[in-house]
Amino acid sequence: MKVLFWDPEQNTSISASRSYGLIEGLPAGHKEQHPSIWIQALEECLAELGEEGIPLDSVKGIGVSGQQHGLVVLDDSDQPIRPAKLWNDTSTEAQCQKIVEATGGSEVYRSEIGNSLPPGFTASKILWVRDNEPDAYVRIRSILLPHDFLNFYLTGEKTAEAGDASGTGYFDVRNRRWSDTVLGAIDPEKDLGSCLPRLISSNEAAGLLRTDLAKKWGMASDVIVSSGGGDNMMGAIGSGNVEAGIMTVSLGTSGTIYSYSTSPVIDPAGEIAAFCDSTGGWLPLGCTMNVTVATEMVRNGFFSVDHAGFDATVDSVPPGSDGLILLPYLDGERMPPVPEGSGVVLGLRPSTASPHYLARAAMEGVTMGLRYGLDRLTELGLKPKEIRLIGGGAKSPVWRQIVSDVFNLPLASPENEEGPALGAALQALWCVDGGNMQELASNSVKLDEETRCGPDVSRAGTYEDLYAVYLTLAEALTNSPVFPAHRDLIKDS
């Protein structure tokens, strides 16, 4: 949980944060948290900001950026019935298959909502509760995403917006509406539509801050809570990715790559998610499950160094790692879809058999995974000209250069590192004052020129060769051909 206090006139910010873990002791693939810990963390962060003298009485608007795809179910007293199943919960693959089959197969399902149905999406989580916890299921009166739940806590209103709703698996992204067809496939007997929140537009307020919360936090009685959105949608706003030509790449625990579009971008292969954004446009997005998961595994397993020391280690190895490649499907993978996949190391020989080489191979391997998403987006018609790099990995100079080299595009990171939180604050300003989002983002999102870099042409051939090997491995693990644009690369490898 991170709470960012942002002053748009001075373009300055200060934040407070709290960490919390997953519920322990669950079976493999199950990832859950209780919504109450989000509320507790929110309260603690606001108390900390108040103790530091932040003028909370000057707050005009609040925007919430939330982890996508999570399932929060409430009873008739508006209390959570069970812990939230999260975006990285992969226990629902069987339910995904049931839903897709009930709608008439994958092509019919994709034509209905514009997306495929990976295990992380919300739809299969609802059916999982029905299949495995029937006593809990019959008590469900409200179905919310994590950011919807926080908005409900803040306002007492149950609302949803198109950006975050796009990742549920029961939202028609072309027409921005709930899909009765998919909801009926999840449960033909229960009226699930009546359990869903009211849809509002991205520039519309979810409601006013509850009077009791405003009094407790020392805020005014007319504070507006904006529609908010998913963390990827807010990350797009916070990185200025609200117009064509800009692509955001996030190097976090997982990796995401997305770019603004004025029209829906539907991937017939289902690898790119056809999301709406949170400004009224669309945000086609690719997601890989293993980014800093892989680099941290190597850093913690083979080194006793901080991140700066790990950077120096990676930088000591030549680009391309002398042919050593790590395919980082450690916990399975979402793009390409290899839910049961594992990591693969190829090119091990005496000269590369060292932790230093494995360190660079890990950093390059996860970047290759995101390059796969770039190529898919390009094949679907997007034409990115510049990357906005965000997430923890974006702080690494050597990793920034690797991304620029592998993607063959220039990049820079925003000065404000709180991308999704800043995006939520910007959207709140848009909701309070109106105006043009493109202008607001252009005036508010400043790039850190020290992070700017472009591709090193001397490395282009090395990385193209390595990427061809990556694709060959990916094809072998998926047991199916990768998309056509890659065929010539694989043939050459």
The set of catalytic residues is 231
Cβ contacts of 442 within 8 Å, gap of 6 or more: 240
> How far from 490 is each of 36, 195, 361, 378, 467, CA to CA, in Å?
49, 48, 20, 18, 9
246: helix, coil or strand? strand
**Pairing between β-strand 411-414 and β-strand 386-390 as defined by DSSP bridges:** parallel
395 Cβ neighbours under 8 A, 6+ residues apart: 307, 417
Tokens of 50: 């108040």
Tens of pLDDT along the chain (493 residues) come to 999 999 999 989 999 999 999 999 999 889 999 999 999 999 999 999 999 999 999 999 999 999 999 999 999 999 999 999 999 898 999 999 999 999 999 999 999 999 999 888 999 999 999 999 999 999 999 999 999 999 999 999 999 999 999 999 999 999 999 999 999 999 999 999 999 999 999 999 999 999 999 999 999 999 999 999 999 999 999 999 999 999 999 999 889 999 999 999 999 888 899 999 999 999 999 999 899 999 999 999 999 999 999 999 999 999 999 999 999 998 788 888 777 788 999 999 999 999 999 999 999 999 999 999 999 999 999 999 999 999 999 999 999 999 999 999 999 999 988 889 999 999 999 999 999 999 999 999 999 999 999 999 999 999 999 999 999 888 887 766 555 445 555 555 5
Q: What is the dihedral of CA 6, 281, 175, 421, to 10 degrees?
A: -20
Cβ atoms of residues 355 and 363 within 8 Å = no
Token pair listed for 237: 């706003």
Domains of the chain: 2-227 (3.30.420.40), 240-493 (3.30.420.40)
Q: Please tell me the distance from the alpha carbon of residue 235 to that of residue 376, in angstroms, as a whole number.
A: 21
Which residue matches tokens 């890990």? 362
Q: pLDDT at position 431, please?
A: 96
Q: Which string of DSSP letters, residue by residue, matches 2-56?
A: EEEEEETTTTEEEEEE----PPTTPPTT--EE-HHHHHHHHHHHHHHHHHTT--G
Q: Are 328 and 253 in contact (CB under 8 A)?
A: no
pLDDT for position 25: 97
Cα 327 from Cα 471, distance rounded (Å): 10
φ, ψ of residue 111 in degrees (nearest 5): -70, -25
Whether residue 56 contacts residue 218, with contact meaning beta carbons closer than 8 Å, is answered with yes
| Distances in whole angstroms, Cα of residue 180 to Cα of each of 99, 116, 479 | 13, 16, 34
pTM comes to 0.90
The span from the CA of 98 to the CA of 124, in Å, is 9
Exposed, middle or buried: residue 345 (CB in 10 Å: 0-12, 13-18, 19+)? middle
Is the separation of the CB atoms in 334 and 289 below 8 Å? yes
Distance between CA 319 and CA 298 in Å, rounded?
18
Quote the CA–CA distance of 425 and 338 in Å, as a whole number. 36
Alpha-carbon distance 426 to 349, whole Å?
Answer: 51
What is d(CA 71, CA 144) in angstroms, rounded to the nearest whole number? Answer: 6
pLDDT of residue 477: 79
d(CA 358, CA 391): 22
Instruction: Return d(Cα 187, Cα 318) in angstroms, integer.
Output: 55
Say what the alpha-carbon torsion angle 279, 282, 286, 290 is, to the nearest 10 degrees: 20
